[in-house]
Amino acid sequence: MILDFNEIKKEDVLIVGGKGANLGEMTSAKINVPSGFVITADAYRDFLKVNDIDSLIENGIKKSADDEKTLLNEAEHFRGKIKSGKFPEQLENAIREKYFNLGNNTRVAVRSSATAEDLPDASFAGQQETYLNVQGIESVLNGVRNCYASLWGNRAVSYRLHQGYDQSSVSIAVVIQEMVESEKAGVLFTVNPVSKKENEMQINASYGLGESVVSGRVTADSYIVGKNGEIIEVAIGSKETQIIYGEKNTVEVTVDDNDRKKRALNDREISELIKSGLKIEKHYKMPMDIEWALKDDEVYILQARAITTLKSSTNHISEDSLVQKYTKGKKINKSTREVMSFFLEKMPFAHRALDFDYLAAINDQKVNILLEGGIVLPRNPIIDDDGIQTFSNAGKRINKNIFKFFKILKNMKDFNGCYHKCNDFMKIYESKIEKIKHLNFENMTLEECKNFMEDSYILLQKLAYDRFKYALFPSVLNDKKFTKIIKKVNANYSSFDFYWDLDNKTSVVTNDVYKMAREIRKNE
């Protein structure tokens, strides 16, 4: 019921989950992965059985009869029982032995690795818990129980219900992995995720543990590099904070101003990361998304997964009757197909009305700016009664504003002017968002909540408009020249980058507006 990483292959997903399978595969391939072991999905099922929780779950699922409110109430009961459950004696002894084999009171990460018996390709990324800097066997055992309980978290249960997954078919393994007290960490994409260039990589890096980059808490440095070792482009992020070890778990602390302003990675470190990325990509024979850490000049690989959003030009959307219902018989071009594929992977569920409205609030501004120049494009895809995006029937055309197009284009090429515009509007938005941060959402009346939602919606529209018109569109016109300006703006106002939190069914703006939108979600 427990397997060391070196006993695991990538085919063992149903036994150890996706995380566990990849860590085992890389360990066998002699990739520098921190030591660890996996408590298998069979161990989870045995834990449920010994504590009579398996029958409790079975009866609770039957009782709910697919009613979401009832199911979530039952899931809360499941979580309570799991957290207070006892491990089978043999399993607990095995966990103790494996943990002590890592060292005396070793700091470890306790990571959930979920899977589904009849859905080997199902992705439950981000729906279960991870605990960092866990020390001591009792804390490890408690972390395992909490991971087990997170399989029945509200978000995970709702996701499975809406996707039609059998709640009883899911299981969970738990990865126990030795922590690396990294000086720098981040993610690496072995194919440029923006340009899709296969001869380029993108590296995102910041200080401390990698959680700050993976979770989007900081604006990390971005390095576009060639697979031949060439550094093509560097964008220095603001790197406001870093996550480090605390007495227990982790803490977030401020990064020194001098470190914020300079590159997190030097040329040698970039070179080593490129080598590691190439080795992993060659082993898997596909583009990979890699989490890494640097300590004492050594690269450690913490996780790797396929970049499934990079679809080949040969992929096509099935034109069966279900798809035709929503495409309305229209021919889907390559770019639209790629966008649909991306959203389907990240949001494989029907939109909720509020989610869609805020997404539209942002996207609508691109259309508004083009309309000023006489180019009339269809508005956002509409949403039907089932919560499914469908295509607009409106066509493309031009109007009399087309005579203003070249004047608007000229203004967008005035990069210094755009830079000053960005500086001015960011100060305004910074002031408004600072006020929002001090609102008491928990004690809002219904009327106050309504007013806040309306005001925040308008604020989001204005911010999106200004960002598109004075930052993103000009950067497309001359990205090399504008990169210097973007770097300067990012260094001061990085917290306003748009952040697509698709896993949480929200499209918002980081970091303060991101928090603001989360409060909206709570009051939805």
Output the six-digit token pair for 492.
């001061």
The residue with tokens 């990509």 is: 281
In whole angstroms, what is the distance from residue 84 CA to residue 324 CA? 49
**How far, in Å, CA of 159 to CA of 349, rounded?**
8
User: How far apart, in whole angstroms, are the C-alpha atoms of residue 339 and residue 343?
Assistant: 6
SS3 287: coil
Considering only CA atoms, which of 52, 34, 230 is closest in space to residue 132?
Answer: 34
- Count Cα atoms within 13 angstroms, Cβ side, for 406: 1
Closest CA to 268 of 310, 245, 297: 297
Query: In order of start, what are the domains of the chain with their CATH numbers?
Result: 2-178 (3.30.1490.20), 184-306 (3.30.470.20), 347-522 (no CATH)
- The rounded distance, in Å, linking the Cα atoms of 341 and 437 is 35
Short-list 128, 210, 230, 238, CA closest to 173? 128
Handedness of CA 172, 174, 175, 179 (dihedral sign): positive
Identify which of 207, 225, 239 has the alpha carbon closest to the alpha carbon of residue 276.
Answer: 225
Counting beta carbons within 10 angstroms of the beta carbon of residue 221, is it exposed (0 to 12), middle (13 to 18) or buried (19 or more)? buried
- Tell how strand 250-254 and strand 241-245 pair up: antiparallel
Tokens of 416: 């210094």
Residue-wise pLDDT tens for the chain (524 aa)?
A: 999 999 999 899 889 988 899 999 999 999 999 999 999 999 999 999 999 999 999 999 999 988 889 999 999 999 999 999 999 999 999 999 999 999 888 999 999 988 864 344 445 555 678 899 999 999 999 999 999 999 999 888 888 887 778 888 889 999 999 999 999 999 999 999 888 899 999 999 999 998 888 877 888 999 999 999 999 999 999 899 999 988 777 899 999 999 999 999 999 999 999 999 999 999 999 999 999 999 999 999 999 988 866 644 434 444 445 556 666 666 777 667 666 766 665 566 677 778 888 888 888 898 899 899 998 888 777 777 777 777 776 777 888 888 888 888 888 888 889 989 998 998 899 889 888 888 888 888 999 999 999 999 999 999 999 999 998 888 777 655 444 544 444 444 333 333 333 333 333 333 443 344 444 444 43
Output the CA–CA distances (angstroms, integers) from residue 289 to 44, 130, 281, 303, in the order listed. 28, 19, 9, 8
